Amino acid sequence: MATSAIYRVPHRRRKEGKTDYKLRLGLLKSGRPRAVIRKSNRYIRASIIVYDPDGDRCVVSADSRELKKFGWTLSCKNLPAAYLTGYLCGRRALKKDIKSAVSDLGLYDAKYNKRLYAVLKGLIDSGVEIPADESKFPQEERLRGEHIKEYSEVIKEKNLKSPFSSDYPAAQVAEIFEKVKNSIEGV
């Protein structure tokens, strides 16, 4: 009598490469809400997710597109926008009485994604307690957008073709950042 090998079909999301169930189980065992950070080619999203047996529940979220309501006129995918998105999500979480969470960066290789750590830094600076390695965070100058200003000045000095559009206020990135951060604090 021939016996057949037992083959276990993996979950659909595991086959598609969308979910690491071992990592997810470890995060859920902590018993704390998850600070889920995701990015696309144009936007960044931060959410606070609470486990529910019937399906995870999103308590609060923030999208970098929402920064325009607070006066952000620049790109929604750069480091300052990532930080402000995390800061906005953190302020909303505190209003919902969420004081701590664990970070869930998903399947991204966090070593190369400073924007994800910028969002995490924004969450922590807003007052949400999240365990994280401080050495992974981008420098404060980069979070404020000083590097964009410096880059635009170097381009002007060398008379190179600017990658910025003519109406892009690269010199005022830090000022715009501070205005938006102050208006988010009022939320």
Q: Residue 124 — left, alpha, or beta (φ > 0 → left; ψ -120 to 50 → alpha)?
A: alpha
State whether CATH 3.40.50.300 applies to domain 17-185.
no
- For the stretch 74-85, pLDDT in tens is 889 999 999 999
Note whether 168 and 176 are within 8 A (CB): no
Exposure string over 52-69, b if 16+ CB within 10 A, otherwise e = eeeebeebbbbbbebbee
pLDDT at 2 over 70: no
Domain parsing of the chain, residue ranges:
17-185
Note whether 32 and 100 are within 8 A (CB): yes
180: CB partners within 8 A, 6+ apart: 67, 70, 71, 72, 84
- For the stretch 84-122, pLDDT in tens is 999 999 999 999 999 999 998 887 776 766 899 999 999
Q: Residue 44 — left, alpha, or beta (φ > 0 → left; ψ -120 to 50 → alpha)?
A: beta
The angle at the Cα of 28, spanning 51 to 25, to the nearest 5 degrees, equals 125
Determine the average pLDDT of the residues in 130-139: 89
Return the percentage of the chain with pLDDT > 70, whole number. Answer: 95
Give the chain's mean pLDDT.
87
User: For residues 103 and 131, what is the distance between their CA atoms, to the nearest angstrom?
Assistant: 8
**Global pTM?**
0.86
- For the stretch 138-177, pLDDT in tens is 999 999 988 888 888 888 888 877 777 766 777 788 899 9
Bigger pLDDT: 121 vs 11 = 121
